[in-house]
Copies of this chain bind each other. A is one copy, B any other.
């Protein structure tokens, strides 16, 4: 906002109003799914919005937590159920499957192949880009407990928060989407 004339009262007020509006330019994505197609959609929206100077918060709950998992050994000190869940659920973006047409993994591979040929960014690159664009990643604490995931098993820089945080963020945002 390049203002030549800043002495006029009305003009200054207009600037303040604009600033208030800019503060409101937030987006909250509630990522509940770990289907590859839906997560790709969420990250295309998140990075697109961040490039347009929107402050984006992605709140990952339930299956969505799988997106944030590191592809490493499972943390110790888990009970039987948590070990089973850790083993059975996809470990990070490279392991996600399409919600449709997965066809035992064939559809998912095909889709990844086509995306590469079309020079569309893959999910790991989109996640890195989102991080560089300061998209905030928040993991739902209650889901972490249910799934038995530990903080060190998730991407670095992920914050933990409860549902109240997600609701406040969504309420502050112009755009809120539930990706289920």
Contacts and interface: CB of A to CB of B under 8 A. Distances in A.
Main secondary structure of the interface of A (DSSP, over half): helix
Interface in A127-180: 142, 145-146, 148, 162-164, 166-168, 170-171, 174-180
Interface residues of A, number: 54
Contact of A177 (B63, B113, B146, B176): B176
Interface in A61-89: 61-63, 81-82, 84-85, 88-89
Nearest to A119: B145
A52 interface: yes
Interface in A10-68: 25, 27, 30, 32-33, 37-38, 40-41, 44-45, 48-49, 51-52, 54, 61-63
B163 A170 contact: no
Contacts of A180: 33, 38, 41, 179-180
- Which 3 A-B pairs have CB atoms at the shortest separation, nearest pair first? A177-B178, A48-B163, A118-B145
14 contacts: A27-B167, A27-B171, A32-B37, A37-B63, A52-B167, A52-B168, A54-B171, A63-B100, A84-B110, A89-B101, A115-B146, A176-B176, A176-B177, A179-B180
